[in-house]
C-alpha cells in the first residue's frame, strides 16, 4: 500500500510515522508513506497557500491552485483508489471504513487548515471525506495520522499476530472484553478463574459474554447497528 499525505506542516507527521508499528510496517515494505508540502506548489512569492474568503468573515481559506496542482501531479504518476479529505464535517470514522480502506492500494489524504479548503476542490477531486470526531483540530495532520494508523495495522504482516486486529474493539460491533496478564494475584485482586482454567471453549464463551456486557453498558449504540 502507498499513502500520499498533502499538508502544509509535514513536520507534524514525522513523529507518528517514525516509531512503533507504523515504522516497522514501512521497514518491512508493507506500506509507503509519502509526505508532500503543499507550499512547494504555491506560485506566491512568499509561498502562501491561503487567502481571504469571498463574502467576508473570520478565518482564511486554503487556496485552490497549489492543492489542485499537487493532486494532478500525483494522479499523473499513479491511480488512486481514494482521495480523502480530513474534515470535521466528513463521515465519522468507523472500523468498517478502516477495514475497507485497508484493501486498497493507493490512498491520497489531504489535510485541511484554517477554515478549510476551497469548496471546488471538494466538488471535483475529493472522493471520500472523513472526520475522526465531533470536534475541531488545528489541522488535518493528526487526523491523517490516526486514519493511517487504523488502516496500516490491518495490513497482513504488520502485526506479529495477524489475528490480533480481528479481535479488536468494533470489529463485530462489540467492545473488547477485559484482559489480564501475570501475576494471577496482585494485592488480593485475582484474575478470573476461567482464564486460568485452560478450557478454551469456556474461555471464549466468557469473553463473548464479557464483550456483550461491556458493550451494553458503555456503547449500547453499537448493538443497535
Q: Is residue 225 over pLDDT 90?
A: no
Q: Is residue 70 over pLDDT 70?
A: yes
pLDDT tens-digit profile of 127-149?
999 999 999 999 999 999 999 99
Share of the chain above pLDDT 90, in %: 91
Tally Cβ neighbours within 10 Å of residue 60. Answer: 15
Matching residue, cell 491523517: 144
Higher pLDDT among residues 80 and 114, named by residue: 80
* Residue 45 pLDDT: 87
Strands 2-7, 106-111: pairing is: parallel
Q: Are 143 and 85 in contact (CB under 8 A)?
A: no
Share of the chain above pLDDT 70, in %: 96
Higher pLDDT among residues 225 and 180, named by residue: 180
Burial label, 99 (beta-carbon count in 10 A; 0-12, 13-18, 19+): middle
Average pLDDT, the chain: 94
The model's confidence at residue 224, banded by pLDDT at 50, 70 and 90, is confident
Question: Is 169-224 in the same CATH topology as 2-152?
Answer: no
* Residue 82 pLDDT: 98
Query: For the chain, what's the residue count?
Result: 225
* Residue 173 pLDDT: 87
Cα 209 to Cα 192: distance, rounded to the nearest angstrom: 13
Mean local confidence (pLDDT), 182-206: 96
**Enclosing H/E stretch for 27:** helix 20-27
Q: Is residue 165 over pLDDT 70?
A: no
* Residue 7 pLDDT: 98
Cα 50 to Cα 59: distance, rounded to the nearest angstrom: 10
- Answering whether pTM is above 0.85, one says yes
The x, y and z cell numbers of residue 78, run together, are 499513479
The model's confidence at residue 160, banded by pLDDT at 50, 70 and 90, is confident
**In the chain, where the domains are located:** 2-152, 169-224
Pick the CATH number of 169-224 from 3.30.70.3270, 1.10.1780.10, 1.10.1060.10, 1.10.1270.20: 1.10.1270.20
Exposure letters 105-129 (e unless 16+ CB within 10 A, then b)? ebbbbbbbbbebbbeebbeebbebb
* Residue 163 pLDDT: 54
Does the bond joining 215 to the residue before it have cis omega, within 30 degrees of 0? no
Higher pLDDT among residues 166 and 51, named by residue: 51
Cα 93 to Cα 105: distance, rounded to the nearest angstrom: 19
Mean local confidence (pLDDT), 40-55: 93
The x, y and z cell numbers of residue 60, run together, are 482564511
* Residue 164 pLDDT: 64
Mean local confidence (pLDDT), 206-217: 96
* Residue 88 pLDDT: 94
pLDDT tens-digit profile of 87-106?
999 999 999 999 999 999 99
Q: What angle, 0 to 180 degrees and rounded to 10, lies between the N-to-C axes of helices 141-152 and 20-27?
A: 60
Domain 2-152 carries which CATH code?
Answer: 3.40.1280.10
Amino acid at each position: 500500500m502507498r499513502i500520499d499525505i498533502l499538508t502544509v506542516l509535514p513536520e507534524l507527521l514525522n513523529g507518528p510515522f517514525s516509531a512503533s508499528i507504523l515504522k516497522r510496517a514501512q521497514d518491512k515494505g508493507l506500506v509507503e508513506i509519502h509526505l508532500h508540502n503543499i507550499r512547494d506548489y504555491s506560485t506566491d512569492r512568499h509561498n502562501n497557500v491561503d487567502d481571504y474568503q469571498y463574502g467576508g468573515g473570520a478565518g482564511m481559506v486554503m487556496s485552490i491552485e497549489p492543492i489542485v496542482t499537487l493532486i494532478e501531479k500525483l494522479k499523473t504518476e499513479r491511480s488512486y483508489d481514494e482521495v480523502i479529505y480530513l474534515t470535521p464535517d466528513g463521515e465519522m470514522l468507523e472500523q468498517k471504513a478502516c477495514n475497507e480502506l485497508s484493501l486498497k492500494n493507493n490512498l491520497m489524504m489531504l489535510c485541511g487548515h484554517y477554515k478549510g479548503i476551497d469548496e471546488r476542490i471538494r466538488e471535483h477531486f475529493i472522493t471520500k471525506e472523513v472526520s475522526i470526531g465531533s470536534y475541531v483540530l488545528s489541522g488535518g495532520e493528526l487526523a491523517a495520522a490516526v486514519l493511517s494508523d487504523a488502516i496500516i495495522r490491518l495490513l497482513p504482516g504488520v502485526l506479529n499476530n495477524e489475528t490480533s486486529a480481528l479481535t479488536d474493539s468494533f470489529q463485530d460491533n462489540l467492545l473488547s472484553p477485559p484482559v489480564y496478564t501475570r501475576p494471577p494475584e496482585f494485592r488480593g485482586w485475582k484474575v478470573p478463574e476461567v482464564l486460568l482454567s485452560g478450557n478454551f471453549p469456556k474461555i471464549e464463551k466468557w469473553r463473548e459474554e464479557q464483550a456483550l456486557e461491556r458493550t451494553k453498558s458503555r456503547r449500547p449504540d453499537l448493538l443497535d447497528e
